[in-house]
Amino acid sequence: MHEAGYRGYIARKKPLIKDSNRWKRMLWVRQHWLKPKQFWDSILWSDESKFNLFGSNGRQIVWRQTNESMKRECLKPTVKCGGGSVMVWDCMAASGVGNLVRVDGTMNREQNEKILTENVKQSAKILKCNHLFSSKIMTRNTAKTISQWFVKNQINTLKWPAQSPDLNPIEHAWDELERRMKRHSPKNKEELWMILKKEWKGIGRDVTSRLVNSMSKRFQEVMKHRGGPMRY
């Protein structure tokens, strides 16, 4: 196997997309394929993400010799109970990042509405968006109430296909934030939160613009893989 160029790798984690949702993803792409750049630039993208205080949720590979298994640089340190984490919500546009909000406890209807009320219009105004809004914040338990909030506040929403986090460019903004966060060594959740706020503000327009401009490539990938998981 090695002679043939094969190596062992940990499989990438990708959502298992139902056949019905694969079709819906391709349909959504076809419906939005010809949208101009200005359309995507006008969208306020949002998402939630969890950042761990210590370590990560995934496995880690190190390259070492057979007798180096216990060398410090070859270990993946762990702490009891995982060290805790901070859940955040944020939004961004092609023109930059929006507010970063700490999510306390479970994201219920009240917290959903509070986050939207205090951050969506403000961020849209600063980032010069037309209040088009893409969000994963709604769940089955809150979708109706939050939809009513959008109507009441006259905010147009972008309908989103199920099982499609890979189509949301803000996912890669989180990756950028995590890379920057890992340059630090926070000792507790409060320090982690302060670092996340500082590093999020440091993500410039060059990054957010590049991510939003990747929509056409994401579309190509969706069609290439017949609506299935793609490299994004």
Q: What confidence score (pLDDT) does residue 208 get?
A: 98
CB 40 within 8 A of CB 216: no
Cβ atoms within 10 Å of 173's Cβ, excluding its own: 23
**Beta-carbon contacts of residue 102 (< 8 Å; ≥ 6 apart):** 86, 87, 88, 193
Decide if 11 is inside a domain: no
SS in 3 state form for the chain? CCCCCCCCCCCCCCCCCCHHHHHHHHHHHHHHCCCCHHHHHCEEEEEEEEEECCCCCCCCCCCCCCCCCCCHHHCCCCCHHHHCEEEEEEEEECCEEEEEEEECCCCCHHHHHHHHHHHHHHHHHHCCCCCEEECCCCCCCCHHHHHHHHHHCCCCECCCCCCCHHHCCHHHHHHHHHHHHCCCCCCCHHHHHHHHHHHHHCCCHHHHHHHHCCHHHHHHHHHHCCCCCCCC
Q: Measure the CA–CA gap between 90 and 47, rounded to whole angstroms.
A: 6
Q: How would you write the pLDDT of the chain (232 residues) with one tens digit per residue? A: 445 544 444 444 556 688 999 999 999 999 999 999 999 999 999 988 999 986 544 444 445 555 554 444 554 554 444 468 999 999 999 999 999 999 988 778 888 889 999 999 999 999 998 777 766 555 555 667 788 888 888 888 888 888 888 899 999 999 999 999 999 989 899 999 999 999 999 999 999 999 999 999 999 999 999 998 877 6
* pTM for this prediction: 0.78
Q: Which residues of 67-90 are buried (b: 16+ CB within 10 A; e: fewer)?
A: eeeeeeeeeeeeeeeebeebebbb
Decide if 60 is inside a domain: no
Q: Measure the CA–CA gap between 156 and 96, rounded to whole angstroms.
A: 20
Decide if 1 is inside a domain: no
Domain count, the chain: 1
Distance of CA 107 to the CA centre of its chain: 16
Decide if 75 is inside a domain: yes
CB 165 within 8 A of CB 65: no
Q: Give the CATH number of the domain where residue 40 resides.
A: 3.30.420.10
Q: Which domain range does residue 31 map to?
A: 19-54+68-224
CB 192 within 8 A of CB 74: no
Q: What confidence score (pLDDT) does residue 83 get?
A: 63
Q: What confidence score (pLDDT) does residue 135 get?
A: 62
Q: What confidence score (pLDDT) does residue 105 get?
A: 80
CB 26 within 8 A of CB 60: no
Decide if 4 is inside a domain: no
Q: What confidence score (pLDDT) does residue 99 get?
A: 95
Decide if 132 is inside a domain: yes
Decide if 6 is inside a domain: no
Decide if 217 is inside a domain: yes
